[in-house]
A and B are shown apart, each in its own frame.
Chain A
Amino acid sequence: MSPDDRKYTQEHEWVMVDPAAVGTAIAGITEYAQDQLGDIVFFELPKVGDAVAHLGKMGEVESVKAVSDLFSPINGTVTEINEKLLDHPELVNEDPFGEGWLIKVAMTDVAELDALMSSQDYDAFIAGL
Chain B
Amino acid sequence: MTATRLNTSGTNGDHFQSHYIPSTVDEQAEMLAALGIDSIDQLFADIPDEFRNPTLDLPAPLSELEIQQELGQMAGKNRPMGSGPSFLGAGAYNHFIPAIVKALITRGEFLTAYTPYQAEASQGTLQVIYEFQTLICNLYDMEVANAGMYDGATSLAEATLMACRVTKREKVALADSISPAYIDVIRTYCQSQDIVVEVVDPTNPSLDGETACLVLQYPNYFGYIEDQQKLVDAAHAQGALAVVSCDPTAMGMLQTPGHYGADIVTGDGQPLGIPASYGGPYVGLFAAKQEFIRQMPSRLSGRTVDKNGKTGYVLTLQTREQHIRRERATSNICTNEALYALASTIYLAAMGKQGMRQVAELCYHKAHYAAAQIGELPGYSLPISGSFFQEFVVQCPTSPTEINKKLMERNILGGLDVSEKVPNGMLLCVTEMNSKEDIDALVAALSEFK
Stretch at the interface among B239-247, B253-261, B280-288, B318-326: B318-326
Question: Is A66 on the interface with B (CB-CB < 8 A)?
Answer: yes
Chain A contacts of B294 at CB under 8 A? Answer: 42
Task: Judge whether A21 is part of the interface by a CB distance below 8 angstroms.
Answer: no
Q: How far is the CB of B388 from chain A (nearest CB, A)?
A: 44
B:307-352 near A, CB below 8 Å: 318-319, 324-325, 328
Bound CA span A65–B294, Å: 15
Complex: A55 Cα to B324 Cα, angstroms: 23
Task: From B294, B319, B324, name the one whose CB has the most chain A CB atoms within 10 angstroms.
Answer: B319
Interface of chain A, helix or strand or loop or mixed? strand
Nearest A residue to B323 by beta-carbon distance? A65
Q: How many residues of B contact A (CB 8 A)?
A: 6
Q: Which residue of B lies closest to A68 (CB)?
A: B319
A1 at the interface (CB under 8 A from B): no
Tell me the minimal C-beta distance from B6 to chain A in angstroms: 47
Question: A20: CB under 8 A from chain B?
Answer: no
Complex formed: what's the CA distance from A64 to B324 in Å? Answer: 10
- The verdict on A80 contacting chain B, using a C-beta distance below 8 Å, is no
Q: How far is the CB of B292 from chain A (nearest CB, A)?
A: 14
Chain A interface residue count, Cβ-Cβ cutoff 8 angstroms: 8
- Of residues 44 through 76 on chain B, the ones whose CB sits less than 8 Å from some CB of chain A are none
Q: Does A67 contact B (CB under 8 A)?
A: yes
CB-based nearest B residue for A60: B319
Determine whether A123 belongs to the interface, using a CB cutoff of 8 Å to chain B. Answer: no
Pick the contact of B325 from A42, A63, A64, A67 — CB < 8 Å? Answer: A67
Which residue in chain B gives the minimum CB-CB distance to A62?
B319
**Closest chain A CB from B325 CB (angstroms):** 6
| Minimum Cβ distance to chain A for residue B115 (Å) | 16
Over the window 36-65 of chain A, the binary record of Cβ atoms lying under 8 Å from chain B Cβ atoms (1 yes, 0 no) is 000001100000000000000000001111
A65 to B321, CA, bound (A): 10
Bound CA span A42–B295, Å: 14
Which one of B294, B324, B328 has the greatest number of beta carbons of chain A within 10 Å? B324
Which residues of chain A are within 8 angstroms of B318 by Cβ–Cβ distance? 64-65
Closest chain A residue to B329, Cβ basis: A67
Residues of A near B324 (CB, < 8 A) are 65-67
Minimum Cβ distance to chain A for residue B337 (Å):
25
Q: Which residues of A contact B328 (CB under 8 A)?
A: 67
Please, how many angstroms separate the alpha-carbon atoms of A67 and B325 in the complex?
Answer: 7
Cα-based distance from A65 to B325 in the complex (angstroms): 10
Q: How far does the Cβ of A111 sit from chain B's closest Cβ, in whole Å?
A: 35
How far is it, in angstroms, between the C-alpha of A5 and the C-alpha of B316 when the chains are bound? 38
Give min CB distance, A68 to chain B, whole Å: 10
Nearest CB in chain B to that of A63: its residue: B319
Q: How far is the CA of A66 from the CA of B320 in the complex (A)?
A: 10
The residues in B between 276 and 306 inclusive whose CB is less than 8 angstroms from any CB of A are 294
Neighbouring A residues of B319 by C-beta, 8 Å: 41-42, 62-67
**Of all chain A residues, which has the CB nearest B325?**
A67
Cα distance, A66 to B325, chains bound together (Å):
8
A20 to chain B, nearest CB (A): 33
Residue of A41, A62, A65 with highest tally of chain B CB at under 10 A? A62
CA distance A64 to B302 in the complex (A): 13
Shortest beta-carbon distance, A87 to chain B, in Å?
14
Q: Smallest Cβ distance from B213 to chain A, in angstroms?
A: 22
CA distance A67 to B317 in the complex (A): 11
* Complexed CA–CA distance, A65 and B328 (Å): 15
Chain B min CB distance to A62 (Å): 4
Q: Which residues of B contact A63 (CB under 8 A)?
A: 319
Q: Provide the residues of chain B in CB contact with A64, threshold 8 Å.
A: 318-319
CA A63 to CA B316, docked complex, whole Å: 11
- In the assembly, what is the distance between CA of A63 and CA of B319, in Å? 8
- Chain B nearest Cβ from A110, distance in angstroms: 34
Chain B residues near A66 (CB, 8 Å)?
A: 319, 324
Bound Cα distance from A62 to B325, whole angstroms: 10
In the complex, which residues of chain B have a beta carbon less than 8 angstroms from the beta carbon of A42?
Answer: 294, 319
User: Which B residues are closer than 8 A to A by beta carbons?
Assistant: 294, 318-319, 324-325, 328
A-B pairs, 8 with minimum CB distance: A62-B319, A67-B319, A67-B325, A67-B324, A66-B324, A65-B324, A65-B318, A66-B319
Given A42-B319, A64-B318, A67-B328, 12 more pairs with CB closer than 8 A: A41-B319, A42-B294, A63-B319, A64-B319, A65-B318, A65-B319, A65-B324, A66-B319, A66-B324, A67-B319, A67-B324, A67-B325
Q: List 7 A-B contacts (CB under 8 A).
A: A62-B319, A64-B318, A64-B319, A66-B319, A67-B319, A67-B324, A67-B325
